[in-house]
Amino acid sequence: MSRLRSRLPASLYIAGPFAQGYSQFYDFLLPVYGLSLGLKASQIGMLVGARSLLAVFLSIHVGVLMDRFGTRRVTLFFVWTAMALAPVFPLLRWFWPLLLLQVFNGGALQFAWSGSQTLIAQLAEGEAEYLGRFSFFARFGTTLAPMIAGVAWDFGGAWPSYALGFA
């Protein structure tokens, strides 16, 4: 148990801000990018909503994959997928390709978030103290990520912003 106690806080402090903050990063960037492309508000709304489409239909199935192949392995697959898709956004300048990209990137982000929650619950072995800390540090990510994305956008537009998402 002492090994768990020494390893777990570091995981919480590092993974927490990135876990949900990464989604907030994209939640901010996509409308700004859509406006820069001249998309209509209804199109931007569809783009933002599309990020949850795969999670609606596949969350149970992804949970089964986590049980079968391991939560860490499946979570890392979706983290790497989301990272790989980040630099594709500035390449797409039309609604339909962006919608398709958003469906897949949003699904990857949603599944990575589910996996990170599951991993923390497994590591914490149900101890509320650790789960609370993870939630606390995740809120830092949801607070800071849109601000960082806004600064990156002001600095250079879509490319630096989505490159930061990749990094």
Domains of the chain: 2-166 (1.20.1250.20)
Identity of the residue numbered 42: S
Predicted local distance difference test score (pLDDT) of residue 1: 45
Q: Which residue has the tokens 């002001």?
A: 154
Predicted local distance difference test score (pLDDT) of residue 133: 76
Closest CA to 102 of 19, 167, 29, 154: 29
Distance from C-alpha of 137 to C-alpha of 157, rounded to nearest angstrom: 28
> Consecutive sets of 10 residues in the chain, 167 residues long: mean pLDDT of each?
56 66 79 93 94 90 92 90 90 95 92 83 76 77 82 87 79
Predicted local distance difference test score (pLDDT) of residue 16: 67
Token pair for 67 = 């049980």
- In degrees, rounded to 5, the angle at the alpha carbon of residue 30 between the alpha carbons of residues 147 and 111 is 90
Token pair for 128 = 């509320």
Predicted local distance difference test score (pLDDT) of residue 46: 95
Token pair for 154 = 């002001």
The backbone torsions φ and ψ at residue 103, rounded to the nearest 5 degrees and listed phi first, read -60, -50
Q: What is the pTM of this model?
A: 0.79
> What letter does residue 127 receive in the DSSP assignment?
-
Q: Is 141:66 a contact under the CB 8 Å cutoff?
A: no
